[in-house]
Structure 1
Amino acid sequence: MTTLVMFDDERADGWAPFALTRPCGELVFGRWTLRERLERVARMRVAGHVTRPWLRRYAEPGAPRCLDAGGLGAPCTAWNARAVPSLEAAWNDAPANLWVAGELAGVRLGAGAEPPRADWFAAPRPRSGLPDREVPGAWLRYPWDLVSAGPDRLGADLAASSGTEAAALPSGCWRLGDAPIRLGEGARVEPGVLFDAREGPIELGSGVEVRGGTRLGGPLYAGSGSQLLGGHISRFSGGPGSRVRGEVDRVTMLGHSNKAHDGFLGHAYLGSWINLGASTVNSDLKHTYGSIRVGPPGARRDTGLMKFGCLLGDHVKTGVGTRLETGTVVGAGSSLFGAEPPPRWVEPFSWGGGRSPDLHRRGDFLSTAVRVVERRGREGSPELRNWLGDVWDEARRS
Structure 2
Amino acid sequence: MTITLFDDSARDSLLPLTFTRPVARLRVGILTIAEKWAKRLDSDVAFLTVAYLQEKFPYHHDPVSLFINGSVCPDEYLVEAISKLETGEALYASDLLLAARGATAESGIPVIDLEGFKLISYARDFSRIMHPEHIFMQNEEEILRDFELVTSGRTSASLSSTNTVLGDQIFVEEGVEAECSTFNTLKGPIYLGRNSGVWEGSMVRGAFALCEGAQLKMGTRIYSKTTIGPYCRIGGEINNAVIMGYSSKGHDGYLGNSVIGEWCNLGADTNNSNLKNNYASVKLWDYANDRYRDTGLQFCGLIMGDHSKCSVNTMFNTGTVVGVSSNVFGAGFPQHFVPDFSWYEIGNNAEYRLDKAIETTERVFARREKELDTVERGIFAAIFDLTKHYRNIKTKL
Q: How high is the TM-score relative to the length of structure 1?
A: 0.88
Paired residue secondary structure (1:144): helix
Q: State the alpha-carbon separation in 2 of the partners of residues 348 and 167 from structure 1.
A: 42
Matching residue of 1:13: 12
Report the number of matched residues.
380
Q: State the alpha-carbon separation in 2 of the partners of residues 388 and 120 from structure 1.
A: 19
Correspondence 1:51 to 2:41:
no
Correspondence 1:392 to 2:384:
yes
Shift, 1:93, TM fit: 5.7
Q: 1:137-286 to 2 correspondence within 5 Å?
A: 137-160=126-149, 161-162=151-152, 164=154, 166=156, 168-178=158-168, 180-190=169-179, 192-229=180-217, 230-234=219-223, 235-286=225-276
Amino acid at match of 1:284: N
Q: 1:1-398 to 2 correspondence within 5 Å?
A: 1=1, 3-47=2-46, 49-58=47-56, 65-67=57-59, 72=61, 74-87=63-76, 89-90=79-80, 91-92=83-84, 94-95=86-87, 96-100=89-93, 103-109=96-102, 115-116=104-105, 121=110, 127-132=115-120, 134=122, 137-160=126-149, 161-162=151-152, 164=154, 166=156, 168-178=158-168, 180-190=169-179, 192-229=180-217, 230-234=219-223, 235-295=225-285, 299-396=291-388
Q: State the alpha-carbon separation in 1 of the partners of residues 359 and 347 from structure 2.
A: 25
- Encode CA deviations 1:147-192: one digit per residue, 9 max, x unaligned: 21112221332144316454753121112234x21111111112x2
Paired residue secondary structure (1:357): strand
Amino acid at match of 1:253: I
Q: State the alpha-carbon separation in 2 of the partners of residues 75 and 125 from structure 1.
A: 13
Amino acid at match of 2:41: A
Shift, 1:126, TM fit: 5.6
Amino acid at match of 1:55: L
Q: Which runs of 5+ in 2 are unaligned?
A: 391-397
Q: Is the 8 A contact 1:340 1:353 kept in 2?
A: no
Paired residue secondary structure (2:127): strand
RMSD: 2.5
Paired residue secondary structure (2:357): helix
1:128–1:275 CA distance, 2 compared to 1 (3 A): same
Q: Is the 8 A contact 1:204 1:223 kept in 2?
A: yes
Q: How high is the TM-score relative to the length of structure 2?
A: 0.88
